[in-house]
Structure 1
Amino acid sequence: MAQFKKSVLKVAVSTALLSGVTFSTNAAEEAAENQVERIEVTGSRIKRTDMEGANPVTTIDAAAISKMSVNNVGDLLQNLTSSAGAAVNTQTNNGGDSSTRFSLRGIGDERTLVLINGRRVVAGGNGANASVDLNTIPTSVVKRVEVLKDGASATYGSDAIAGVVNIITRNDYEGFELKLNAGQSGEGDAEAKGVDLTFGAASDRGNVVVSLGYNDQGDAFQGDRSFSEYELRAYADGSTERGGSSAPPWSNMDGYDGGNVTQGPEFGDWRPYDGATDSYNYNPVNYLQTPSKRKYVNVFANYLLGEFGVLGEVNSFAEMSYVQTVGKRLIAPEPLAPLIFFGTAAPYSPDNYYNVKYGPKDPDGNSFQIDDWRRRMLETGGRKNERDYKTFRTVVGFNGVFENGWDWEISYNFGQSDATERAEGYFNLARVGDAAGPTGWLDANGSLITDADGNAIVDAANGAQLVCLNAEGAVIDGCVPLNIFGQPGTDTAITPEMLQYISGDYNTTELGQNRQETLSAIVSGDLFDLPAGPVGFAAGYEYRKESGYYKPDSLILQGTTTAGNAVSTEGGYDVQEVFGEAIVPILDDAPFAHMLELSAAFRYSDYSSFGDNTSGKIGLKWMPTDALLLRSTVSTAFRAPTIDDLVGGAAIGFPEAADPCDANTYGSDAAYEAVKNSPNFANCIATGVPANGYDSDGVEQIPSNTGGAENWGGSIELEPEEADVLTVGMVYTPDFVENLSFSVDYWEIQLDNALSTVGTQSTLTGCFERGEYCDRITRFGADSAAYGGIITVDDYAVNVGGIDTAGIDFDIRYTFDSNFGEWRLSLDGTYLLEYDKHLASETIDHVGRFEVNHDGHFAELKTNFTVGWSKDDWDATLTTRYIDGVTETENGWWTDPFDRSVESNVVVDLQGSYLVTDHLTVTAGIDNLFDEEPPFVFSAFGANTDVATYDIIGRYMYLRAVVNF
């Protein structure tokens, strides 16, 4: 038995070395010393004396985190090789929400469960959200992060399909620590600064730890990087061309003969619009990194209450955290195009003074009604959003050890996040319609000036006041006529008074909340002894209540603003669960079985929203020798429909997509003629496309209705997702090479009944190619100037298809001493073997691809290679992050569809630290040492690259000083 314990200890410590990004010698020694204690390992509720179970777990400790520039857990996790897909971060400007989320295996952040000290964390965002905002967890409070890369619904319940992130906090810290951070990019932007203060005290009966902090992240703009300064279009021959929006600040509108016309930069020079030369470059004024300010406080406390009979010694504990994040978004000024972009008719009247004076003319020199007009509203300075998120979480409870030696715990967990989002730079469409309508003039007495026939005059009148008129010729009180024909920066620009009328009083405010309450009770201990050891057991009960809401203001509810329209979301559900787990030792210190252990777990869940679910798990852990550990798990996992899935209010978004029925999608007239002559074009006609086709003239963002399943009008009821998860792996620490360890794990996830949306692009493609989803597409009718164009695509939540994915994780660690210090070498990586997303009649292969409309980036291979060195008071780390190249598809818009290769990406980070005194450590580092630019990804939305995957800031230098006593 002594040999067994020694072997397990060796493997446990070696595996900890394997699974961490880096792991200091002192941390390893500390882990070894603590093995005699019974601890709870992520993936199991049973306390045990060894760290390693049947589940693959990656551990990142405080020593490793201190060698990075990251300040929150989200940025830390997104650098793992097991991260994939399209989880947002603060590099996500248009479409982001100032949060950072983690998508393990790339199957969605909502399928990765986040815990703090083994307990759930409230979701974050603008209200009724499905996943945790990891920006709310600062690294200053983290002792270690454990990432369980295995399905764990049997242990933790819903959402743990891809795995679990368990953040273990520094709730036992004693002393005083002051940490100062500062950083800046090589371009002089993206400045960051922060301060963290942690202090803890203990007595023989308890302890308390308090941590305070503030972090300020500065902005960077796309215009300040060569790769993102212009929007780029890609072509099959490898060339690129500067692109942009069809709504330029010099206007783009109907010409009299049916084509579109523009003035170009030369005022009054009306000519045919040419997308190659007249498009507006919106990139420079967009954030490349969104700014945010975050302040936080965390308190952890334990106090031994004393002996209470059969309960034994009873300990009380409490956790409290409060985080406020204020983040901003800035995107280009609004492209005001009421008809084609927002589906609202706001024609420019031929009797509007500005149309008469500046607008295009018919062959006889007369003004005419302009139905489709587009104008970039540069005068606003951009569309600005400010988010104020406040997240509060507290845990209180009691734990102890019964007289029979069993552990017990009762806890109450409460979390709430509140959001306020304010937006400006948008317009009231009803007022825009009034301001573009007919105009008249009021004399000094306030009377309408008319001609001999009693009609309001259109031409200017000396000393008179220009006013808006309604269809009956009456004055619209307070309305200021709009001039979209002038040039920004000149005396013909849109005036402040015009902006005030159509937008000044119409900035929007949205409120949201997520709320979570959990009451849990658990017991664990040894049931009985077998020849190979005691049978471990745990069982418990959990009651959880989730609720949330999202409340837009009246402008958004009424759909009268270009900020979009949305309906309120409000709802909730509760769940009662019972769970159990056992670990059965089968063999101990036997030939070819130094240890053989079987584990099993189950959970029964009863939801108020859909019914019940049962999940289970079986694991096997086998050590044929003291140097080799083999492990495997088979489990079922599930994810319950969220509040947003169920009752999310309908909202409109504008994803990029290519309409197969649109001439603009194809590179030539001949290509479109072939489409119109194909049998598939009958599906276009069935949705409302004219038989001779239509041309959207550069519309690339398709208005799409999103929201919960209730928006289908009761025709669709959601069911939970279900998944089968398999892992098989090994950990090997050979005796013949000291301090060498490696692990290999194969994983496989088969997800069915996925809770998702079909997606705008898949809806359009499915209708065109197979006649599916056609009833979800609404187009302008024959009486519209935009006949055939898309008004909206319905893309509400459904159970649709599933995901089959598999891959291999590998990890190698080697340490050795030399005359020049201690060296640490590590290589960890993920090799993706399979990722197939199944929709109703379509399977999309993601391996080695970037799929903007199908979940993001899925490199075949990702690795992190680290070289560490330490000698005396010096320490240095060099990390090389590699992301394999992928293939993307250019879906059209400016050329026929084609595939193009996205090059691989290699980024090198360098960090060094010096122990100045026993109480002061100074660290300096450079992320992206060689200033590697991110690869060009044409189909990605924003910055000409994939902001969710690559380092887009460039070379980044930081300095950190830590004072502790």
Structure 2
Amino acid sequence: MNAPRRRPLVAALCLALATPVLLAPVAAFAAPAGQDAGATPTTLDSVQVTGTRIRKAEVESQVPVHSLSREDIDRSGLTSVGDVLQELTGAGSALNTKFNSSGNFGFSPNGDGVGAGSAQVDLRHLGAKRVLVLVDGMRWVNESSASGVGATTDLNTIPLAIVERIDVLEDGASSLYGSDAIAGVVNIITRRDFDGAQLSLSLGEYGGGDGRQTGLDFAWGYNTDRSNLFIGLSHVDQDGILASTREQSRWPVPGTGLALGSSGTPHGRFIFTDPATGVTHDITPNDGAGSPVFDRNQAGCERSDDYHCFGGADRFNFATYNMLLTPSERTGAFGQYRFHFNDRLQGYAKVLFNRRESVNQAAPEPIFLGPDAGTGNPLADAITISAANPYNPFGFDLVSVDDPATPENEANLVMVGRRPVEGGARVFEQQVDTTYFGAGLEGTFDAGMRTWFWDLNLASSRNEAEQANYGSYNILNIATALGDPAACAATPGCVPLDVFGGPGSITPEMLAWIQPVVRDRSEQRLDQFTANVSGDIAELWAGPLSFAGGVEHRRYEGWYRPDPLTVAGHYNGVPSLPTSGEYDVNEAYIEFNVPLLGEGFFGKSLDLSLAGRYSDYSTFGSQFTPKYGLRWQVADELLLRATYAEGFRASSIGELYGSASRADLQLIDPCLVGVDGSAPDGDPGNCAALGVPAGAVQTNPQISVTTGGNEELQPETVRSFTAGLVFSPAFASNVRWSERLDLELTFYRHSLQGAVQAIDAQTQLNLCVDTLDPLYCDGITRSSVGSINGFNNRLTNLGSIRTDGWDADVSWSLPETGLGRFRLAWQNTFVTRYEAVGAAGQVQPRRIGIEVNDSAIPDWTSNAMLDWRRGAWNASWTVRHVSELEELCGDAVGFPVCSNPDEGTHTLDAITYHDLQLGYRFEVLRGLQLTAGANNLFDEDPPLCLSCSLNGYDASTYDIPGGRYFYLRADLRF
């Protein structure tokens, strides 16, 4: 798509904002006569905080910003930026290394890929792609998932060892930072002013003796009166934990045994109609029947041959192959150098390289054949298994599609489900490399007796991912090996395939023909340039009128290249096609802080903040986003503030240009008898109109849903409002029982329109059956036996999301006594509304207090921390709470594990985690700090989740099941 012609107004605005910046270097070098060019710089040390572009010597926040210091990070005992951020009370569900996100779970329903092994952050439950991630104020490159072109940032690409602090702005900020800053902004500040060296060693392990995590960090810094140099090296190695090691995760759905397992079994499931007798069989071989004998004269389930009718006890438990914690090894190197040319000009350069090597694992890949397989692959759905196949025990062709040329070959095959355990588990190995280079100049100049600040920044970053998939199959080779033996013999390498015998019937020679190594690659690149200027324009009656402005240019490129086998449609697993795209952005922004009232009858001060950004995209055109804020310092003790902002999120490369990709989802077909024998609840007449025969059974609840990009997508738009107060009472300041007490209360509201998504698949299926409306039914196709064999839903600008709630925080510092110094911090988030509505008014399933689609929106989350220090000792006790949730039991409604069977719902009880840490500092060299800690001290298991697709628990809301996590850390300064 061609870029729109730049508008003259935009060009003029860019020029106006850029002019003082371009003149700044000249003014900076023109230092006053007699000034010492080598003097220690001071004027560049003004503060720029996240949430405003205006630089001041002292800035008090006008917006709610939560800062995590290096001390806060160390206190968590965690080794990932993503894990640290996901423990915030305002964080929602996002990927982390507890998601075994490959196999059928490896492709996003949004068509942009799932970043296997990545860690993301979601704020306000609006999705990780609606959070902007900055590093030192510059955008970080989006992830390459090796399954698409992602729309989010992988925080595992940023080594935790290089982080000085993390600022989290929980407010809309598109006017200041541009697209993606809908739910908030995460700004990661790197270490800079560091003198000497520090070596950190860490070792952690779960109470079950597994999941070991080791870390080695080295930091070195050297400062002179004119320069700063920092180098950081980091290595983290995390072992995996298999689901089979914990009781809760040993079954597909906890508490149901094999009843809801897979019908793709090592022995095989065969559903067909005997063309000679007209009898339909649903059978599986008996245990021990290596080459089973079939007697076609027998009917029903009372058989004397080597088969019996397939039942719940025959289903396959795929859960034992899954992982609760995925292996992840991360190695990073970071360097930053700053040089002060004089007290008005400095330059910097930064470079980073980070490599992540991670592994996901899924059960051996099943082979489903026939119209009821639901794979959407014609090679599998329209297959003929030859009677001449030497291993075919049935004595006739198994045909899934009528052949008009040979009327005697009428379709008789419904489904074959065989899981070749001989080929081992599916193992997905990722290697993700991230490189970043940034350079810039910062300085000051005087104009009109005032000092102005300016900076120029250039950055280029790249994220490359490769994934190797071991244990999948080539469906074309499978079809050839099951077909006419003569055709197989004429094909080099082909050997007839035995899917009819039990485990062990597939030989190494057969595997060599049908089992390839599948390799996928993807890459994203971000190049950006920014120029900013800030200062006081004039002195007004109530204080200085402050200003900031700037221009930005960004260019995004991304591509995804699946294995040629996948592109050709020969991959037995999740199909996908290549994706490629690019676009560029030109922007200009402006911000003012206007003092309205000074100290007087109405309080200490009243300030108005105004900001606006004009964005010009080569994909859809232009967008303007304003922001307005009021800050009223009523008294020294009380601050009131409010903001209103409009924002947007431009569609990502994957959302715009992504080719159709598939997610295999657990769906309940309202027209079919459930896998547990439950009656269908869909309207019988409507089901018949959709081509579903009466009594048809849903043999496989895993349905393939295909989603693809849409170049006509428009930006998502949002309106955000926050209002709150900060109260620091004087009666609690510098008294015997309190050094300082801060109380902060914030109300937030976000109203998102035109959300880019496909309609929830289960909701679409239900609405199709209820209404027969083509809006929902188009794209859903069914086989001759009534099962869904095609489910296509495309991305579009759907409906709206509205959410609001409250943050309530307390910070209390106590005076030092003989017992030491204590500090209490307590953060709470209350979600009071969450409504997601589709384009036609249909309510989406996500809402407050509900668990759905591996994510939850608790109505209350809370973190409380008590910190103690005395001499060389320090300790902390952290309490984390998640309120009660409910979910639908689905097919598990008939089992005792479903706590509310009459309502068809299950309650996930509230849970509270306790973390304890103790440390001691030795006066060795410049200090040796030893720290020991235990997270989840009281060994709380997460509540059972019946609707979660992996491992029986929500990996983004709760700690890993079945154990405390113990760790030791040593930090040596020298």
Fold equivalence (TM over 0.5): yes
Q: Is the 8 A contact 2:100 2:322 kept in 1?
A: no
Alignment of 1:347-386 (within 5 A): 347-356=384-393, 370-386=413-429
Deviation at 1:905, TM superposition (A): 1.6
Q: Distance in 1 between matches of 2:553 and 2:913?
A: 45
The Cα shift of 1:260 comes to: 1.4
Per the normalisation by structure 1, the TM-score is 0.86
In the other structure, the counterpart of 1:838 is: 837
Give the structure 2 partner of residue 232 of structure 1.
253
- Contact 1:150 1:163 (C-alpha < 8 Å) held by counterparts: yes
Q: 2:627–2:646: 8 Å Cα contact kept in structure 1?
A: yes
Q: 1:148 touches 1:164 (CA, 8 Å); kept in 2?
A: yes
Measured in 2, the distance between the counterparts of 1:693 and 1:42 equals 61
Provide the residue aligned with 1:118 in structure 2. 137
Does structure 1 residue 728 correspond to structure 2 residue 723?
yes
What letter is aligned with 1:842?
A: Q
Mapping 1:841-856, distance limit 5 Å: 841-844=841-844, 846-853=846-853, 856=855
Match of 2:779 among 774, 777, 780: 777
SS state at 1:420 partner: strand
Conserved? CA contact 1:573–1:609, under 8 Å: yes
Mark the runs of 5 or more structure 1 residues left unpaired by the alignment: 1-33, 308-312, 362-367, 439-467, 711-716
Matches within 5 A, 1:805-884: 805-816=803-814, 817-840=816-839, 841-844=841-844, 846-853=846-853, 856-884=855-883
> For residues 233 and 188 of structure 2, what CA distance do their matches in structure 1 show?
18
Alpha-carbon distance in 2 for matches of 1:884, 1:266? 49
SS in 2 for 1:265: coil
Q: Secondary structure at the match of 2:480?
A: helix
List per-residue Cα deviations over 1:660-716 (Å, max 9, x = no partner).
Answer: 222227853xx33x6353x5436xx34xx234363231x122111122115xxxxxx
Distance 1:540 1:250 in 2: 66
**Equivalent residue, structure 2, for 1:464:** none
1:439-450 equivalences under 5 Å are none
1:43 maps to: 51
| 1:496 has 2:508 as partner | yes
- Bigger Cα displacement from structure 2, 584-593 vs 801-810: 584-593
TM-score of the two chains, using structure 2 as the length reference? 0.85
2:536 aligns with: 526
How far has the Cα of 1:741 moved from its partner?
Answer: 1.3
Contact 1:835–1:845 at 8 Å: present in 2 too?
Answer: no
| CA shift for structure 1 position 780 | 4.2
Match of 2:950 among 909, 927, 942: 942
Whole-Å separation in 1 of the counterparts to 2:210 and 2:526: 38
Q: Is the 8 A contact 1:852 1:941 kept in 2?
A: no
Question: Residues 486-524 of structure 1, C-alpha deviation per residue, up to 9 Å, x if partnerless?
Answer: 332xxx531111111111xx2111111100011111110
Task: Please give the secondary structure, in 2, of the residue aligned with 1:796.
Answer: coil
Per-residue deviation, 1:185:
0.8
**What does 1:191-202 align with in structure 2 at a 5 Å threshold?**
191-202=212-223
Shift of 1:637: 0.7
Which residue among 225, 239, 248 is the counterpart of 1:204? 225
- Give the counterpart of 1:484 among 489, 493, 499: 499
Q: Deviations over 1:15-49 (max 9, x none)?
A: xxxxxxxxxxxxxxxxxxx9995211101100123
1:64 deviates by 1.1
The answer to whether the 8 A contact 1:89-1:100 is kept is yes
What are the Cα deviations for residues 799-820 of structure 1, in whole angstroms up to 9, with x where unaligned?
0011000010111122224432
Instruction: Read off the aligned partner of 1:706 and give its amino acid letter.
Output: T
Please give the alpha-carbon distance, in whole angstroms, between the structure 1 residues aligned to 2:803 and 2:782.
Answer: 40
Partner of 1:407: 453
Is the Cα contact below 8 Å between 1:592 and 1:625 reproduced in 2?
A: no
Name the CA distance, whole Å, in 2 between partners of 1:381 and 1:594.
Answer: 71
Matched, 1:622 2:622: no
Residue by residue over 1:269-322, the C-alpha shift from the partner in whole angstroms, topping out at 9 and shown as x without a partner, is 644444421111111121111101111101111112348xxxxx3211111111
Residue among 65, 76, 99 paired with 2:73: 65
Q: Does 1:243 align with 2:260?
A: yes
CA gap 1:824/1:894 in 2 versus in 1, 3 angstroms: closer
**Residue pair 1:69, 1:925 contacting (<8 A) in 2 also:** yes
Question: 2:642, 2:589 → 1: CA distance?
Answer: 21
Q: 2:23 corresponds to which residue?
A: none
- The 3-state SS of whatever aligns with 1:50 is coil
Asked if the contact 1:885–1:904 (Cα under 8 Å) also holds between the matched residues in 2, the reply is yes
Contact 2:893 2:904 in 1 (8 A): no
- In the alignment, the residues of structure 2 paired with residue 830 and residue 358 of structure 1 have an alpha-carbon distance, to the nearest angstrom, of 66
Change beyond 3 A, Cα 1:263–1:123: same
Q: Deviations over 1:233-254 (max 9, x none)?
A: 67xxxx8875311111111111
Provide structure 2 residue ranges, at least 5 long, that are not aligned to the other structure. 1-41, 106-114, 293-304, 399-410, 734-739, 895-900
1:303 equivalent to 2:339? Answer yes
Choose which of 694, 697, 710 in structure 2 pairs with 1:695. Answer: 697
Distance of 2:552 and 2:460 partners within structure 1: 13
Choose from 548, 551, 575 the match for 1:565: 575
Aligned-partner Cα distance in 2 for 1:436–1:93? 32
Matched with 2:438 is 395
Distance verdict in 2 for CA 1:36–1:355, change over 3 Å: closer
Pick closer, same or farther for the CA change 1:259–1:54 going to 2, 3 Å. Answer: farther
Partner of 1:425: 471
Deviates more, 1:772-781 or 1:475-484: 772-781
- Structure 2 equivalent of residue 924 of structure 1: 932
Match of 2:966 in 1: 957
Name which of 891, 911, 930 aligns with 1:905: 911
| Residue 253 (structure 1) aligned with residue 270 (structure 2) | yes
**Could you list the per-position Cα deviations for residues 744-799 of structure 1 after superposition, in whole angstroms to 9, with x for gaps in the alignment?**
100000000111111321221221223343444343443xxxx3222221122110
Letter in 2 for 1:56: P
Q: 1:275 to 1:409 in 2, by over 3 A?
A: farther
| Aligned equivalents of 2:936, 2:834: Cα separation in 1 | 29
The one-character-per-residue Cα deviations of 1:96-118 (angstroms, maximum 9, x if unpaired) are 61000001011110000000111
Could you tell me how far 1:836 is from its partner in structure 2?
Answer: 0.4
Q: State how far apart, in whole Å, the 1-side matches of 2:254 and 2:677 are.
A: 12
- 1:606 is paired with a residue whose SS is strand
Residue equivalent to 1:633:
643
**For 1:431, what is the secondary structure of its paired residue?**
helix
Q: Give the one of 570, 590, 600 matched to 1:580.
A: 590
Give the aligned CA root-mean-square deviation in angstroms. 2.4
> Equivalents in 1 of 2:778, 2:892: separation in Å?
22
Give a deviation string over 1:442-471, Cα, whole Å, max 9, x none. Answer: xxxxxxxxxxxxxxxxxxxxxxxxxx223x
Instruction: Provide, for residues 206-232 of structure 1, a one-character-per-residue CA deviation record: whole Å limited to 9, x for no partner.
Output: 111000111111000000011111222
CA contact (8 A) 2:97 2:326 kept: no
Q: Which amino acid aligns with 2:660?
A: A
Which shifted more, 86-95 or 176-185?
Answer: 86-95
Q: Which residue of 1 aligns with 2:236?
A: 215
The secondary structure found in structure 1 opposite 2:247 is coil
Between the aligned partners of 2:521 and 2:310, the Cα distance in structure 1 is 42
Q: Residue in 1 aligned with 2:793?
A: 795
What is the aligned-residue identity percentage? Answer: 33
| Deviation (angstroms), 1:155 | 0.1
Can you list the C-alpha shifts for 1:187-209, whole angstroms capped at 9, x where unaligned?
Answer: 11111111111101111211110
Could you tell me whether the CA contact under 8 Å between 1:745 and 1:808 is conserved in 2? Answer: yes
Aligned to 1:550, which of 548, 557, 560?
A: 560
Match of 1:178 among 176, 190, 199: 199
> Structure 1 residues 487 and 693 mapped into 2: Cα distance closer, same or farther (>3 Å)?
closer
Tell me the secondary structure at the aligned position of residue 249 of structure 2.
Answer: coil
Match of 2:708 in 1: 707
Matched letter for residue 790 of structure 1: I
- What's 1:8 paired with? none
How much does 1:850 deviate?
A: 3.4
Give the drift of 1:845.
Answer: 6.0
Partner of 1:675: 682
Q: Report the residue type matching 1:502 in the other structure.
A: I
CA contact (8 A) 1:848 1:887 kept: no
**Partner amino acid, structure 2, of 1:291:** P
CA apart distance, 1:88: 4.1
Quick one: which amino acid aligns to residue 279 of structure 1?
R
